[in-house]
Structure 1
Amino acid sequence: MRVEVKFHLAKEILLPYDLSYYISGYIYRCIKQAAPELSEWLHNTGLKYKGRRYKPFVFSRCNFASRVNLDSVMKVKGTLSFQIDSIMPEIVHRFVEGAWANGHLDLFEFKFPLQETCFLPPVSFSETMVYKALSPIVIPIQKNNQIVFSHPLDSRFYDSMRNSLKNWYYLRWQEEFPEGEEIHIQLYRPEKFQLGKAAVLTRFKDKNIKGYLVPLEVEAPVKMQQVIYEAGIGSYGSQGFGMVEALKEHSCNGEGDCLKRKSTSC
């Protein structure tokens, strides 16, 4: 269950490029506003599987109606929007409730009024899907007792991705991924891929995280395709990485269930 939220920017302002840490905090605050116990569980416990904890939500990078990239900041105006999804619909519903209760997004010294929340139309899943990354796909792997970030030209990028998706499959459906089924993942239109252009280095709190904005073609059972859409691909989904959308599917365009503020003060 995916929702897109939009905020009003009354004037042109300067913002840093890396906003994921602040948006993550905002999401937790909104959920806490509507359901304190759910927020505490999500932050401190989450879902457990094979000795690991999972925070079941994923969100996209921020989009702006107008954006000009400068050396160290971006100049933006108009609207700020992002999407959030989860394998647990209650998380998305409580986030929306809390967002309207809060009424605005605080970023640094700025306060952006909430303009609209829109539940996006359901996606028609098939066994072959093409996905566009809405936030960088991150694949951390162990190398010489250190964490390094794999890239799309390394086979481990896809091996780790498949293993992670199988874990999320269990968390979503409460059953193991069928042994006789396979997950084939490859770059979509690989002849157009350029490693340097696809790479994105993001500062999240005190960490530098390297991910890749790449389109992927996935052949897998329909139930796995739904997991990919709801949980994202790769690691650190709850920190704003790995969210994807199905190509040829559209964002809020009047077909979804949208709620707008009747008037927005500047």
Structure 2
Amino acid sequence: MRIKLTYESLDGDIILPKHYNYHIQALIYKTFTPDLATKLHNVGFPLGKRRFKLFTFSRILEKGIPTKDNEKLIFKRKITIYFSSPIEDIVGNLAERSFKEREFKLCNKKIYISQLEIVTTPKIENKVIIKALSPITIYSTLYKKDGEKIVHYYKPIDKEFSKLIEKNAKKKYHLLYGKDAEQMSLEIKPLKFSVQENLKIIKFKDTIIEGYTGIYELLGDPELIYLTYETGLGNKNSAGFGMWEIWRGKESDEDA
């Protein structure tokens, strides 16, 4: 289930850090009821050693104007994001609390929820062309001989990128439905993509994350593809990575 949230300021522009993912995530957690926020943040949905949050959100849809020092973005009184989860109670909790509370703080700026829209679920077939609404990231954690940890981020042109995206989606499917997804398939191919132009380096708290926007083709089982529509593709979904929409053509190319 996916919703579209629009926030407005009645007191001037909304100014956010250039790396604003953490602040949007914090806004979402503050909007949830305290018990749900605590459960998702501290426990999530465990699977082996991993803990999934099973929600994701987009980049801000409006285009921010960089400040002179390029450290912040200025948004003209309004920001809009998409929020998505396969668990309707999570989406419902955010939607209900958004209307109940109405007023929120984002980077010490008072903002108000002005519009909330339920997004129509797209028709998913075994091949879809998608546009990344937030960078897609997938990585492996490696260790040197001395025990030092290294995080290796994959590019969409790497063969491991698609394989790890598929593996990640199958884990989420098993977690959600309790069914084996090994016979299912998912492949992602870059269509309109450049490593230089689509690489997005985002600082989340003290972690530097590499992800990629762009236009891609998804092929495979429609059920598995749809799961990634709701949960996000790849890693770090709850930090604002991996959200996508059906590509509508050139009119939606901006910031692809």
Band the TM-score falls in, shorter-chain normalisation: 0.7 to 0.9
Letter in 1 for 2:50: R
Distance 1:183 1:14, change over 3 A: closer
Q: Which residue of structure 2 aligns with residue 12 of structure 1?
A: 13
Comparing 4-13 and 153-162, the one that deviates more: 4-13
| 1:182 matches 2:185 | yes
Residue 178 of structure 1: how far off its partner (Å): 4.6
Residue 40 of structure 1: how far off its partner (Å): 2.0
Letter in 1 for 2:228: I
| Paired residues, number | 241
Q: CA RMSD in A?
A: 1.8
Structure 1 runs not aligned, ≥5 long: 250-266
Residue 13 of structure 1: how far off its partner (Å): 4.7
- Please give the secondary structure, in 1, of the residue aligned with 2:76: strand
Comparing 93-102 and 226-235, the one that deviates more: 93-102
1:231-253 alpha-carbon deviations (Å, 9 max, x no partner): 1101010111111112239xxxx
Matches within 5 A, 1:49-60: 49-60=47-58
Q: Which residue of structure 1 aligns with residue 45 of structure 2?
A: 47
Q: Which residue of structure 2 aligns with residue 113 of structure 1?
A: 112
Cα distance in structure 1, aligned partners of 2:15 and 2:38 = 33
1:142-184 alpha-carbon deviations (Å, 9 max, x no partner): 34441121111211111211110111111232211152x4322
Runs of 4 or more consecutive aligned structure 1 residues displaced over 4 Å after TM superposition: none
Comparing 209-218 and 6-15, the one that deviates more: 6-15
Cα distance in structure 2, aligned partners of 1:157 and 1:163 = 10
Cα distance in structure 2, aligned partners of 1:240 and 1:125 = 22
Letter in 2 for 1:45: V
- Please give the secondary structure, in 2, of the residue aligned with 1:122: coil
Cα distance in structure 2, aligned partners of 1:24 and 1:245 = 20
CA contact (8 A) 1:30 1:97 kept: no
Cα distance in structure 1, aligned partners of 2:112 and 2:7 = 6
1:204-231 alpha-carbon deviations (Å, 9 max, x no partner): 1111111111222111111112101001
Q: Which residue of structure 2 aligns with residue 165 of structure 1?
A: 169
Identity of aligned residues (%): 25
Structure 2 runs not aligned, ≥5 long: 250-256
Cα distance in structure 2, aligned partners of 1:173 and 1:109 = 40
Cα distance in structure 1, aligned partners of 2:74 and 2:50 = 40
Q: Which residue of structure 1 aligns with residue 224 of structure 2?
A: 224
